[in-house]
Chain A
């Protein structure tokens, strides 16, 4: 069909425009490159997704509060957590306004002891998380980058993870004198291998991506590849793993205390408190339940925060 005939039949008057507009417009090269920038930024989106849930905000506030309080408690209160009372009147008191969590069989204030216990348990857990994730990441990077290490590392991994952790922890803690250091060594000597394997798998997938090969072609030294190409891509995993490591360490400490090979009896940790409370559980259940409740709140909060952060840091969830 002939075009010029066709368009005349139904061309509506309303489509007639000023004839001047049908002149060529100048071409702007810079304008043509503009795609329309998205408002995306990895960390902003991660934090936004993370804090979208009110429960997470509440938990983060709670955990920060507990950590802050456990370190600042001595400033606010002069109650000595180790002060033993010789007066029978002060023993095994029920929770009241003067003793929020009551007192134990020696008349010590459980509320004060809980804060001191939190502090010690936190310190221990932070140290363990630091060493587990730190050593694990370094070993994982070496493992991922060096194929020759593979057979050795897999053997070490198999041996260490196949021995039940409880047996291992109990044995080590039993051999050495009970102290903070012993507990740290027994937990840290084992925790890194799981982290190492986790990071090895992640680094393996990053290692062969094209931008890393590009760096290799440009002759980028290993140090800069690590700091610019790898760590920025796994920093979210580091944070997540550290957050998940803390409740695990606190839990292990409590467990060791529970079976009696944890900390020395006079050390104030959550594990020891739960352990002490166990003896008089039938008569004075609050002596065990209240520290256990604190413990639960802390571990659950850290688990939820760690997992929620893992979800939030996944770009697929950034909607």
Chain B
């Protein structure tokens, strides 16, 4: 009975009037013509061609469409970047190329043509094994998931070579050592016998790349391979992938949400939103002449393009999840300049040039007038922005003073100093950014100030002149909780999954009974929710119902409801999607102005830091190495580590990005055996860490 109904349903959908069918066919021919017209402009022939790929997932009894008909071609010897935020389906889409969808997912329609076969029709694992790893290989974000922790690196790679090429163990071993050398691992003979745990994150990713290229694949898919790495390491891994691609003449499909990375590696870019490719073009066309409103908005919202003291351009709202029903253009609800038709009908592909197309009604000749108007408006917006004057330190009073702060941890019997003799001041009303790579101790400083660590902290921290380290009375603690608050990095982990938003935000109010009655509390919660741009209907929901950006705003509301003067923001934007970052940065800036807040902003990304901070402190392995006013640091970096960090900052501009010179920092360059380093104020407000000889060299450098 049920089956009959389904068949009838399917039949009724298929029956189209001849005109409709002809129209549909014409549209398909038109779209495929646009998709293939860039072929002569590519470096080689088309290897893999995906057409109208649809992927569905069964989740808790519901059928969800993750990929809604994505079409894309991969050409030989080129790097194609797929850009999109989390949930846009970029990973799922490329996983279909190697048949690695999760158990509850399936390809529901479309074709995947590779070497004359339609891979979308593959049903048996054996069919996939001919392709996966051999012809198309994949590198994942977290290298630990693809390596076996209890086997040596060498054996893992040698096994792949023996398995695929039928070589003897000795031959495979020799080849493995050669491969390890190729991916930039020093002393590969010794490293061959080591376990994944003995490698650093960047080295592990190199090993995973070695495994992936061991079989000489035609296509290498890199799924956010550098997201978990520090900027300096990221730049090195990108260089490695680029050089390997040239050497092996592979096609590389690069999945990322980081536009700086795209500008660095990609020849061609496909932008993905809500399970569809919305724009495709060469890297220059995408960065310099984007047409889809989403791509444009993404590029505009980058902090590098912001003017200090003004709001960043930000994309409103939240990216759609799989549960959202999409009608028309998926981006329309978040697009302030959307047209009526965007809400009515899904836009088709419109060509821009031979090599560039976009899925937006704006490119229709009928929208010509409106499009011209938008371009004019944007030009005006750019002209009007005047940067704010830098923070005035004359007469500014220090709010928080940190002197000789050290934090020690015991790790398997050994004590090690995560933070070593750090001193700095934060002035009332400024934003001081603490920049450093993972493991440098920046989060530890933040937590030591917040008194999360107490027993293992030495040194002195004063807040408004009162000492806040060591033992405090109950009253003093209460006062601190009202004046200092913290915002956290991971919006997934920083909210209690089993509590409703109402409780999460009111937690501080409950602790010190900061409300008169229940009504007053509810009113306070609603007011703060509105301030962070959420509606009061959200109070009765659980955190998992929100997107990352919304959760981060709930976290901000939770700390702001205490009315603090000082906020420690521990990497509040690094876990967020690009389209959401600008929103959160704007919110933090708005709160700073309205509530005259002071921030300690902890970050590893220098591009956002430049936009929001007044002072920047650079930390390396627990030592502050340089501290200077924001523009001064960018103009005259002195410490070699600062220089290396600055050289690695990704720029969302392919011309700049490709010509940038990476500087490497090796701590061994300092000779501190006789001449001990000190923390010196080299010019007013500009501190640097070094010994006498180095300080003299820095002085000379400044005079030049």
Chain A positions within 8 Å of B, measured between CB atoms, are 1, 3, 6-8, 10-12, 14-17, 19-25, 27-42, 45, 48, 209-211, 213-221, 224, 228-229, 232-233, 318-319
Contacts of B321 in A (CB 8 A): 35-36, 38
A10, A39, A319: the one contacting B30 at CB < 8 Å is: A10
User: Which of B23, B319, B336, B496 has the most A CB atoms < 10 Å from its CB?
Assistant: B496
Contact B511 A221 (CB under 8 A): yes
With A15-B364, A27-B338, A213-B452: A38-B323 Cβ-Cβ less than 8 Å: yes
- For A31, what are the chain B residues with a Cβ–Cβ distance below 8 Å? 317, 333
Whether B493 contacts A22 by the Cβ 8 Å rule is: no
Residues 310-327 of chain B, each 1 if its beta carbon lies under 8 Å from chain A, else 0: 000000111111111100
Known contacts A25-B338, A40-B60, A319-B60, A35 near B319 by CB under 8 Å: yes
Instruction: Write the chain A residue with the least CB distance to B541.
Output: A37
Per a CB cutoff under 8 Å, which of A10, A24, A29, A221 touches B351? A10
User: A35 is contacted by which of B367, B447, B546 (Cβ under 8 Å)?
Assistant: B546
Cβ-based interface call for B510 (8 A): yes
Interface size range of chain B in the complex:
35 or more
Q: Which residue of A lies closest to B493 (CB)?
A: A210
- When the two chains form the complex, which single residue of A7, A32, A45, A217 contacts B317, counting CB atoms closer than 8 Å? A32
CB-defined contacts of B341 to chain A, threshold 8 Å: 17, 21-22
Determine which of B33, B58, B320 lies in contact with A36 in the assembled complex, contact meaning CB atoms within 8 Å: B320
Residues of chain A lying within 8 A (CB to CB) of residue B316: 27, 29, 32
B348 in the interface (beta carbon within 8 A) = yes
Q: Are A6 and B351 neighbours in the complex by a CB distance under 8 Å? A: yes
Q: How far is the CB of A220 from chain B (nearest CB, A)?
A: 5
Separation of A36 and B326 alpha carbons in the complex (Å): 10
Task: Judge whether A21 and B340 touch: CB under 8 Å.
Answer: yes
Is B555 part of the binding interface, using a Cβ–Cβ cutoff of 8 Å? Answer: yes
Which residues of A are found within 8 Å of B58, using beta-carbon distances? 319
Please give, as numbers and ranges, the residues of chain B lying within 8 Å of A24 by CB-CB distance: 337-340, 370
Check if B503 is an interface residue, CB within 8 A of chain A. Answer: yes
Among A11, A38, A220, residue most surrounded by chain B Cβ atoms (within 10 Å): A38
In the bound complex, do residue A11 and residue B555 qualify as a contact, i.e. CB atoms below 8 Å apart? no
Q: Which of B364, B452, B493 contacts A209 (CB 8 A)?
A: B493
**Can you name the residue of chain A whose Cβ is closest to the Cβ of B558?**
A214
CB-based contact B555/A214 at 8 Å: yes
Point out the residues of chain A lying under 8 angstroms from B364, CB to CB.
Answer: 15, 17, 22
A6-B352, A35-B324, A219-B481 as given contacts; A233 in contact with B317, CB under 8 Å: no
CA distance A71 to B177 in the complex (A): 71
Q: Are A12 and B30 in contact (CB under 8 A)?
A: yes
A-B contact pairs, 6 of them (CB 8 A): A25-B339, A25-B342, A34-B318, A38-B545, A211-B497, A213-B486
Does B450 sit at the interface, judged by CB under 8 A? Answer: yes
Q: Which residues of B contact A21 (CB under 8 A)?
A: 339-341, 344
CA distance A33 to B499 in the complex (A): 21
Question: What string of 1s and 0s marks CB contacts (under 8 Å) between B249-293 and chain A?
Answer: 000000000000000000000000000000000000000000000
- With a cutoff of 8 Å between Cβ atoms, the chain A residues found around residue B333 in the complex are 28, 31-32, 34
Which chain A residue shows the least CB distance to B561? A218
Could you say which residues of chain B place their CB within 8 Å of the CB of A319? 58-60, 103-104
Residues of A within 8 A of B354 (CB): 1, 6
Q: B54 at the A/B interface (Cβ < 8 Å)?
A: no
**Inter-chain contact B332/A25, CB cutoff 8 Å:** yes
* Besides the known contacts A32-B334, A214-B559, A217-B481, 10 further A-B residue pairs in the complex with CB atoms under 8 A apart: A7-B350, A22-B364, A22-B366, A22-B367, A23-B340, A27-B336, A34-B324, A211-B497, A213-B447, A217-B450
B60 to A48, Cβ gap below 8 A?
yes
